[in-house]
Structure 1
Amino acid sequence: MSDDPQRVAMISVHTSPLEQPGTGDAGGLNVYVAETAKELARRGIEVDIFTRRTTGETPVVGELVPGVRVVHVTAGPYEGLPKEELPGQLCAFSAGIMQVGLSVPEDHYDVVHTHYWLSGQVGWLAADRWGVALVHTMHTMARVKNLHLADDDTPEPRGREIGEVQVVEAADRLVANTEGEANELIDLYDAPPRKVSVVPPGVDLTTFTPGSRAEARVELDLPVDGELLLFVGRIQPLKAPDMLLRVAAELLRREPERRRRLTVAVLGGPSGTGLAHPHGLEDLAADLGITDVVRFVKPVERAVLAQWYRAADLVLVPSYSESFGLVAIEAQACGTPVVAADVGGLPTAVGDAGVLVAGHDPSAWTDAVQDLLRDPDRRSELGRRAVEHASGFGWDATTDRLLAVYRQAIHDRTHSPIAEGEGLAGVPRAVIP
């Protein structure tokens, strides 16, 4: 088709697709950007991913795979700059992208696809400067997160909410992970329904596959005949990793004999507000008296992560807010049942192949986990259904839908608020400093 893009500029300001998911600010967004970019490249579409340079040793331009360049833009100090302080560097980041733009023809890119609101702010300017369509994926939204905060978490700032509203207004197309997220964009951000397209994320079905639980446990130095409960993700209140420890403690209170066969593994690193108490989970395990059954594991490469999923009897995803839940779909692709919070995109990710728990009452979560541990036949049936459910979420299917969004955005590109003489959120351009 004539509207097919030939070159795509992706922008991910705060985290690079080259970083290890599971720690710092690296998570599902990194996986999404990397996998969709690789799929686009397989179809002959060139992709440049712009991200912030975080070390002096990082090359300015690197290659993810042939056809996908990662361009590292200098904006602020290389290290020690938390995500919350990045809004102050958006001008520098935008200037860096504009410098790159000077070295290519004006019509070099066909579409700009931004990820997370910080990138949307930069992409808004870049798309306007280059005269191309802007597609934006929120990944998470301040107003949604603030509606579902953990008790000890910090609300997202007002400035982020305002920035998200501006990006919603400026984008030609908005990509939502699920129908629920699409409704949140419409209801909470007044996004025009015609601009919102649902594109579920995917899973690497060549890496995350079913396999032998016993072999996985031998490789990971776990008891072959024991029980393993697993949490995977960034360690922060939003993800509620403490729920895994509280469930384990309650299980052992109810059934003390289970202690000799139970292992609880937390795989991930501190992130976000979790950085304020990097050893909080270790302290909680000690307070609960379960240090002997808990293993804390640093983030691992994907092949090893798949082995952890295969080794587990159950994977818990107790997040307070989740736009989709890549951990859930990865675990299911490996044939492991998931117990997840009934929030956000998790019902879509889990489908009928797992168990959803309303709220965050440790007793209710323990009931769900205990019932499954006592019923191996049900776990086996859920595992079979999990593989079948996950098979419909390959990254190739995601990219098919994403390309359709790109075509629509290119075809229907609207005039930028900047070009129309308007500034941020409709403020006359002349008064913007």
Structure 2
Amino acid sequence: MNQKPLKICVLAAASSSHTYLQCGILRDFGHHVTLVSPDDGKCPDGVRHVPCSVTSHQGIIGKLRWLKTIYNGVKSVEADVYHAHYAAELTTWMAWFVGKKPFMISCLGGDVLFDEQGTLGPIGRWITKRALKKCDHVTVVSNHLGKAVEKFGVHQSKIQRVIWGVNHEIFRPLSQNKTARSLWGVTEDAQVIFSPRMLKPFYNQIMMLDALKEVVLQSPKSVLVFATYNQDADYRKELEARTKELELEDHVRYAPPMNQQEMMLAYNGADLVISLSPSDGTPVSVMEAMACGTPVIMADLERYKEFFVHKETGWFTKIEASHVVSAILELLNDQPRYETLKIKGMTLIKEKADLHSQSRLLEESSYRLIDINSDLL
């Protein structure tokens, strides 16, 4: 694109690996990127970071101090365009409050699916809806989220589907990969099922254990590996107790928090990936797994069907142990079907969910909004 580089202000949590990737890609496009975040975290080289963290945000005084820091941080940045990478986030709300323009918000799932995921109280919901209605442009990762945003009073003409997707420079199939299995203490001939979502009750890992008990009866070398990123400590104890109760200690592993490269190795080290959240946008972890050539068993959510096809690019299952058992065993024992999911899943993600090409959509929208905003001045 033969246009001048932009000064882009990204409003997002620096602790998120997706924020890190997005800022790096916009920088690589030649833009001058500033990240304003409510927390500390890593920031790519060449990206200016304005962290708005405080020592403590407990109590009224702590929260007010944090809000003042965020206010100062957001207010201080002068940019050509402001992009918030999550609707229900403090820097997003503050950008709306101080009137930053042109202002774009990307909705990813739980930030707007309030009732499904139980997110936010009434004040947070009101502010999020207000920010979405008043911003200049909204991107959504699925048509389902687009409809949710429309119900808030956001005009359809302001909504654009941007899947975001996968960085294929990182997430790719490997011809041989023993690294993850070695770290997990899993043999080469084991059948590994990997759960990459956060270790929280919402993602139904206890149900996965119940299903594993039945799977092991027919596939004795099966191993279930849980990612532990942002884990709920109490839930982890419940899982460990349930594992012991089911006598599955030899069949369960807990992987430590991983960076993007380590996640790629984990996907390649698994035979199957499983995701059973009852509510979702378009999950990046599912797409990352497919990009690595690992078939995915996922909850049978209608919104997934605008992107994935059952038994072709993904495998849908009801969120019930018996159905999960059937899905796992059928895929593990049906090699032709397994290969179909592997090849077609990789092809789909490569063609439809490439992070770089999807980020170009954001860039194009940014130039358009700047032109519109200039005409109004």
Bin of the TM-score, shorter chain as denominator length:
0.7 to 0.9
| Counterpart-to-counterpart distance in 2, 1:322 and 1:235 | 15
Q: TM-score, normalised by structure 1?
A: 0.77
Is the CA contact (8 Å cut-off) linking 1:251 and 1:370 kept in structure 2? yes
Matches within 5 A, 1:302-381: 302-343=260-301, 346-347=304-305, 350-351=308-309, 352-357=312-317, 359-381=318-340
1:65 match: secondary structure: coil
- Matched with 2:368 is 408
1:52 aligns with 2:12: no
- Matched with 1:295 is 253
Q: 1:125 to 1:217 in 2, by over 3 A?
A: closer
Q: 1:96 to 1:276 in 2, by over 3 A?
A: farther
| Counterpart-to-counterpart distance in 1, 2:271 and 2:50 | 41
Q: 1:183 aligns with which of 147, 165, 168?
A: 147
Is the CA contact (8 Å cut-off) linking 1:325 and 1:345 kept in structure 2? no
Q: 1:109 aligns with which of 62, 76, 79?
A: 79
Q: Structure 2 unaligned runs (5+)?
A: none
Is the CA contact (8 Å cut-off) linking 1:50 and 1:72 kept in structure 2? yes
Is the CA contact (8 Å cut-off) linking 1:329 and 1:350 kept in structure 2? no
Query: Alpha-carbon deviations, 1:147-188, whole Å to 9, x = none?
Result: 3x5xxxx6642222112111112211011011221111113x
Matches within 5 A, 1:79-90: 89-90=66-67
Q: Which has the higher contact order (CA 8 A, sep 6+)?
A: 1
Q: 2:210 aligns with which of 246, 250, 266?
A: 246
Is the CA contact (8 Å cut-off) linking 1:217 and 1:224 kept in structure 2? no
Which amino acid in structure 2 is aligned with residue 33 of structure 1?
A: T
| Counterpart-to-counterpart distance in 2, 1:231 and 1:145 | 24
Query: Alpha-carbon deviations, 1:7-34, whole Å to 9, x = none?
Result: 011112xx31xx3xxxxxxxxxx23322
Q: TM-score, normalised by structure 2?
A: 0.87
2:113 match: secondary structure: helix
1:391 match: secondary structure: helix
| Counterpart-to-counterpart distance in 2, 1:412 and 1:378 | 50
Would you say how many aligned residue pairs link Structure 1 and Structure 2? Answer: 368
Which amino acid in structure 2 is aligned with residue 109 of structure 1?
A: A
| Counterpart-to-counterpart distance in 2, 1:415 and 1:280 | 58
| Counterpart-to-counterpart distance in 2, 1:395 and 1:3 | 21
Q: 1:340 to 1:213 in 2, by over 3 A?
A: farther
- Matched with 1:428 is none
Which amino acid in structure 2 is aligned with residue 6 of structure 1?
A: L
Deviation at 1:281, TM superposition (A): 1.8
Is the CA contact (8 Å cut-off) linking 1:231 and 1:266 kept in structure 2? yes
Is the CA contact (8 Å cut-off) linking 1:202 and 1:398 kept in structure 2? yes
2:126 match: secondary structure: helix
1:167 aligns with 2:131: yes
Deviation at 1:345, TM superposition (A): 5.5
1:125 aligns with 2:115: no
- Matched with 2:106 is 137
- Matched with 2:174 is 211
- Give the RMSD, CA atoms, in angstroms: 2.9
Deviation at 1:218, TM superposition (A): 5.5
Query: Alpha-carbon deviations, 1:339-393, whole Å to 9, x = none?
Result: 1113375445644411112x41111121111111111221122111121112122
Q: Structure 1 unaligned runs (5+)?
A: 20-29, 102-107, 417-433
